[in-house]
């Protein structure tokens, strides 16, 4: 039965390729395959959906190790090895393979979703709820893909149907407003079609109604903050070094600007939509901390449980992309990139673990906060070609200024801090895997968590009322207290200072989960925050940015192949 299933899945992939790759239609003789061979059954529905899901691993996104690189490396917090940051991370956007791969992966996901939906719709032997849920998942992918595209490139071509049934491939760019209108329309469809977690038919770990609602809230929040014409934001930042000496962050205040393309949006209207949609999800979740991992939505009681392999896809995980250790097509390199691949003795191999976070990010936290006490690798061994491994320690200040370091972090004599692009804040989020000696591990990618739902609500509620509400503060404290961070007091905040607090809380909680760059961009503070660092960070990664960096350039392949697009983004 497994062999039959795998053959059918392979058939699905071929059919999806026929529906999404014009080049395949021209070069590959697959005319003997028809979608009707896949059948009309619940198994057939699953095959269509799994075929689309495979885009995240087998055919795009994470298989080639670069999908997360352009958005993760281009921020004030990300740092690491020069070779890993030399492209988008250093502001080199033009003729960039990362930029091209990002575009093509997202449009491949859209094309496959477009192609699969009609074949599921016309099935007659399948329960309508099962069909709707499957179509809802594919609509979710389409809405998310266009949201991901518009944040990077601005308005993009909207391909709403399969290229097999609609052969028009020279499609002009839509405006930012029209692109967002289609994103919202598509995510609303998904919201109405997807099963909630409370449904007996819901399968743990899959996209749910709550996932679509949170994504809608995130889209509304992005529109609202981009459209807001003014205001100030306070954050920790500035230069990371003086000469060769690393220096702590300073408090800086930046004035936001309205993001181009959002002039016609009413920010308060969209903050209200974001608040209300996030509240719908909160009302569907457990009001207290979760102590068991099932399909119940809520916040895990223990911070470490969030990243335990035992709890993947459960509790607060609204959307994860899963992988298989050791598989060249179905494994991801997140552990290799963020934590480091180890040898059999547990020593980190040189040239791995090259994406991390800066000392300035580390300094955002109270010393009691589990997100750095447990969430950062403090001591490790680096393998050497010959001889004993090098003993490394992070950060330096925990030894030089904190007498409790030995008790808190297990510091031992002989573990040394050194100024190096390999000595940085490596998060532990991706480290609980079956085998760290594998380049491709089973670490999943966390696209959306309930923790973000709480922060969306808090941010939006503050803007709607013009001051922090008790409920908004409670949501932030609910999250902070899980990590043993001290609670915040509403009496100490007004609209602008609470706005700043929530953005810094997002910076802490969602680090290296694909949010920081977009937070800077949607608030119109990307340029001043990046340029406040000086030209380079502590590891000599170029952080200086120009107005042309506000949008990524469209790939040359799209410019050359789409006759309806005559100009690239400004400055490219």
Whole-angstrom distance, CA of residue 530 vs CA of residue 535: 9
514-523, pLDDT tens digit by residue? 999 999 999 9
What is the end-to-end Cα distance of the chain in Å, rounded? Answer: 52
Q: Where are the domains of the chain?
A: 2-194+555-561, 227-303+447-541, 323-443
Task: Report the chain's mean pLDDT, rounded to a whole number.
Answer: 91
Q: What is the DSSP string of 117-174?
A: HHHHHT-SSS-HHHHHHHHHHHHHHHHHHHHHHHHHHSS-B---S-TTT------PBP
Q: What are phi and psi of 51, to 5 degrees?
A: -60, -40
Tokens 């749910």 appear where?
Answer: 208
Query: 404 or 94, which is more confident?
Result: 94
Q: Quote the DSSP letter at residue 89.
A: G
What 3-state DSSP class applies to 408?
helix
Helices 209-227 & 267-284 angle (0-180, nearest 10): 160
Query: 527 or 163, which is more confident?
Result: 527
**Band (4; pLDDT cuts 50, 70, 90):** very low
What mean pLDDT do residues 292-313 have?
A: 91
- In this prediction, residue 326 carries a pLDDT of 86
Query: 105 or 13, which is more confident?
Result: 105
> How many CA within 13 A on the CB side of residue 173?
17
**Band (569; pLDDT cuts 50, 70, 90):** very high
Q: Quote the DSSP letter at residue 449.
A: E
Residues 222, 227, 230: CA angle, nearest 5 degrees = 120
What mean pLDDT do residues 11-22 have?
A: 48
2-194+555-561: what fold? Answer: 1.25.40
**Band (12; pLDDT cuts 50, 70, 90):** low
* Strand stretches in 11-126, DSSP E: 78-80
Whole-angstrom distance, CA of residue 259 vs CA of residue 221: 13
Whole-angstrom distance, CA of residue 43 vs CA of residue 39: 8
Matching fold, domains 2-194+555-561 and 227-303+447-541: yes
SS3 content of the chain, % helix, strand, coil (to 5): 45, 10, 45
May I ask the CATH class of domain 227-303+447-541?
mainly alpha
Asked if 456 contacts 221 with a C-beta cutoff of 8 angstroms, the reply is yes
pTM: 0.93
43-57, pLDDT tens digit by residue? 999 999 999 999 998
């Amino acid at each position: 039965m497994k062999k039959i299933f795998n053959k059918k899945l392979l058939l699905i992939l071929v059919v999806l390729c026929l529906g999404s790759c014009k080049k395949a239609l021209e070069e590959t003789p697959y005319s003997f395959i028809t979608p009707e061979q896949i059948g009309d059954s619940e198994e057939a529905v699953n095959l269509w959906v799994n075929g689309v899901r495979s885009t995240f691993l087998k055919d795009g996104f994470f298989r080639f190790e670069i999908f997360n690189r352009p958005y993760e490396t281009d921020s004030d917090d990300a740092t690491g090895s020069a070779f890993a940051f030399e492209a988008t991370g250093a502001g080199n956007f033009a003729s960039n393979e990362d930029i091209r791969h990002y575009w093509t992966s997202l449009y491949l996901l859209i094309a496959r979703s477009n192609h699969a939906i009609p074949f599921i719709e016309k099935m007659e032997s399948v329960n309508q709820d099962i069909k709707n849920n499957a179509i809802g998942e594919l609509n979710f992918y389409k809405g998310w893909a266009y949201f991901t595209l518009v944040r990077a490139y601005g308005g993009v071509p909207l391909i709403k149907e399969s290229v097999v049934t609609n052969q028009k491939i020279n499609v002009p760019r839509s405006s930012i407003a029209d692109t967002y209108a289609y994103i919202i329309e598509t995510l609303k469809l998904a919201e109405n079609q997807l099963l909630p977690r409370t449904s007996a038919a819901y399968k743990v770990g899959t996209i749910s109604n709550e996932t679509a609602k949170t994504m809608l809230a995130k889209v509304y929040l992005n529109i609202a903050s981009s459209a807001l014409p003014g205001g100030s934001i306070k954050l920790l930042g500035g230069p990371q070094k003086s000469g060769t000496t690393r220096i702590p962050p300073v408090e800086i205040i930046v004035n936001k600007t309205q993001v181009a393309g959002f002039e016609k949006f009413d920010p308060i209207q969209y903050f209200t939509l974001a608040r209300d949609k996030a509240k719908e999800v909160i009302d569907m979740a457990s009001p207290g901390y979760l102590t068991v991992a099932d399909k119940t939505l809520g916040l895990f009681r223990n911070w470490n449980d969030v990243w335990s392999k035992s709890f993947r896809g459960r509790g607060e995980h609204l959307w994860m992309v899963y992988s298989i250790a050791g598989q060249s097509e179905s494994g991801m390199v997140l552990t290799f990139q963020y934590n480091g691949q180890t040898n059999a003795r547990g020593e980190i191999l040189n040239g791995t673990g090259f994406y991390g976070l800066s000392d300035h990010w580390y300094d955002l936290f109270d010393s009691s906060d589990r997100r750095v006490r447990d969430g950062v690798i403090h001591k490790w061994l680096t393998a050497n070609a010959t001889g004993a491994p090098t003993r490394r320690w992070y950060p330096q200040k925990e030894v030089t200024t904190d007498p409790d370091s030995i008790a808190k972090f297990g510091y031992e004599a002989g573990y040394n801090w050194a100024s190096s692009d390999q000595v940085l804040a490596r998060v532990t989020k991706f480290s609980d895997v079956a085998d760290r000696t594998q380049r491709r591990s089973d670490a999943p990618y966390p696209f959306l968590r309930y923790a973000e739902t709480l922060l969306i609500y808090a941010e939006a509620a503050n803007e709607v009322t013009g001051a922090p509400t008790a409920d908004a503060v409670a949501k932030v404290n609910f999250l902070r207290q899980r990590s043993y961070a001290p609670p915040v007091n509403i009496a100490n905040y007004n609209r602008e200072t609470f706005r700043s607090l929530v953005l810094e809380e997002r910076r802490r909680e969602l680090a290296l989960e694909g949010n920081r760059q977009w937070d800077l961009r949607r608030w119109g503070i990307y340029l001043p925050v990046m340029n406040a660092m000086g030209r380079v960070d502590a590891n000599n990664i170029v952080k200086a940015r120009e107005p042309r960096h506000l949008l990524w350039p469209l790939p040359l392949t799209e410019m050359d192949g789409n006759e309806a697009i005559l100009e690239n983004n400004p400055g490219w």
